[in-house]
Amino acid sequence: MKIAKLQTHVLAAKVDKPIHFGAGTYDTFTATLVEIETSDGITGIGECIARRAPRVVDTVVRDLLWPVIDGRDPHDVERLWDAMFGVLRPWGHYRGFVFEGMSGIDQALWDILAKEKGVPIYKALGGADRATVPVYGSKVYTDTPEQMAALAKAQVEKGHRAVKIQIGRSAEWGGPKADLEVARAIRDAIGPDVRMGADANSAYDPDTAIAAGREFAKLDLWFMEEPVFPDDLEGYERIKRGQPVPVAAGESEFGLVGFRELFRRGVLDVVQPDVARIGGFTAGMRLGKLVAERNLAYAPHTGFSCGVAQMASLHLAAAVPNLSRCEWMWIDNPLSQIFEEPLPQQNGGVIAMPQQPGLGRDLDRDKLERYRLR
């Protein structure tokens, strides 16, 4: 069996109600999907994170990475991962668009291997082999404290046992003091037994994060996510030392290089890689070993992604050691419903793993055309 054909889909979907969060305002979901077909006619799909300029990732996949894997044996998936990484590594490229492109290709190759075996991806990956995956509902985005508390309570009433809330409010929304007001309102609404994480999306500076964390601790905060910019490693060190709330991050890291430095500095409690950015399943599983060695919590990230990445995150969560919970988005994202059938839903805070071969969902070709960026 050889890798024979490539097709990509660059997608964009605008929403009526923009989402407000620490990094700004978001009103258009974008994604780049990768379809790879083998000489035996097996097709695998994967997703590359494409927060901005999705056609850039498309070019990376087609012009830079496809020549590395064209005609190769998909069973050599880990060696192909290393070969793609090696294309630009000698010139210092170990982050960014290249890794996002690698992520989609790697997912598609594992989808092929799972379909060939007639098993779901998580079983092809080996590892923990979980039949169900605990999830946390995401996310209670910036609004009035009353609206945010009501939304969180409604999701808990639907069965969620853990939720994530948005902090990092701009001055327009009341700033850090309003973050504390929001967190108190939500904790009161959901009660003491539901886990509550908070995501700043890098909106704080270290001093603000330390002061906020000391107050959040009184509310039994599960974690404080990305309090400062991903490259502010000294800031992460100060925050970890200066306040008691567990620190979470990882969605902005690529491959394993950045994670190794975070581990060396001892700044993370909850590790949150995104399968569509870190380098796909191969990198996600390699990271899982490092997380387990350090006895940290593994909590795969999803976000403003297409449904392919959400499903891939679920499979990764079912396979890795030291799983805490997988993020599961409830937001109104048209691209999350890119399949012929809906995404699986939580029941009592867990999702039963799909048992169909591969990813477990088939792309809706009409929706691909509807959202294609032309």
Q: Are residues 203 and 285 in the same domain?
A: yes
pLDDT digits (tens, 9 = 90+) for 246-263: 999 999 999 899 999 999
Q: Are residues 210 and 327 in the same domain?
A: yes
Q: Element (H or E) spanning 137, and its range? A: strand 132-140
pTM of the model: 0.96
Residue 180 belongs to domain with CATH number: 3.20.20.120
| Residue partners of 103: CB distance under 8 A and separation at least 6 | 46, 47, 48, 49, 275, 276, 277, 278, 279, 280, 283
Q: Are residues 109 and 219 in the same domain?
A: no
Q: Which of 16-25, 213-222, 223-232 has the lowest mean pLDDT?
A: 16-25
Per-residue model confidence (pLDDT) at position 17: 83
Q: Are residues 333 and 256 in the same domain?
A: yes
Per-residue model confidence (pLDDT) at position 248: 98
Q: Are residues 82 and 172 in the same domain?
A: no
pLDDT digits (tens, 9 = 90+) for 136-185: 999 999 999 999 999 999 999 999 999 999 999 999 899 999 999 999 99
> What's the number of CA atoms in the CB half-sphere (13 Å) around residue 353?
25
Mean pLDDT on 5-33: 88
Per-residue model confidence (pLDDT) at position 325: 98
Long-range pairs, 81-85, Cβ under 8 A, ≥24:
81/106, 81/279, 81/280, 81/282, 81/283, 85/255, 85/279
User: At residue 345, does pLDDT exceed 80?
Assistant: yes
Mean pLDDT on 38-47: 98
Residue 62 belongs to domain with CATH number: 3.30.390.10
Q: Are residues 88 and 54 in the same domain?
A: yes
Beta partners for 162? Answer: 195
Q: Are residues 135 and 235 in the same domain?
A: yes
Distance between CA atoms of residues 320 and 250, nearest Å: 15
Per-residue model confidence (pLDDT) at position 270: 98
pLDDT digits (tens, 9 = 90+) for 182-218: 999 999 999 999 999 999 999 999 999 999 999 999 9
Q: Are residues 148 and 219 in the same domain?
A: yes
Residues assigned a catalytic role? 301
Number of folded domains that form the chain: 2
pLDDT digits (tens, 9 = 90+) for 259-269: 999 999 999 99
Mean pLDDT on 296-319: 97
Mean pLDDT on 55-60: 96
pLDDT band at 290 (very low <50, low <70, confident <90, very high): very high
pLDDT, averaged across the chain: 96
Q: Are residues 100 and 217 in the same domain?
A: no
Distance between CA atoms of residues 31 and 16, nearest Å: 18
pLDDT band at 23 (very low <50, low <70, confident <90, very high): low
Per-residue model confidence (pLDDT) at position 89: 87
Mean pLDDT on 256-284: 97
User: At residue 280, does pLDDT exceed 70?
Assistant: yes
Helix (H, G, I), strand (E, B) or coil at 359: coil
User: At residue 363, does pLDDT exceed 80?
Assistant: yes
β-strand 350-352 against 297-298: which pairing, if any? Answer: unpaired
Q: Are residues 133 and 43 in the same domain?
A: no
Distance between CA atoms of residues 291 and 276, nearest Å: 19
Beta partners for 45? Answer: 35
Q: Are residues 87 and 161 in the same domain?
A: no
pLDDT digits (tens, 9 = 90+) for 106-139: 999 999 999 999 999 999 999 999 999 999 999 9
Contact 321, 291 (CB under 8 A): yes
Q: Are residues 107 and 128 in the same domain?
A: no
β-strand 132-140 against 350-352: which pairing, if any? Answer: antiparallel
Per-residue model confidence (pLDDT) at position 262: 97
Which domain, by its residues, includes 99? 3-118+366-370
Distance between CA atoms of residues 30 and 32, nearest Å: 7
Mean pLDDT on 315-339: 96
pLDDT band at 47 (very low <50, low <70, confident <90, very high): very high
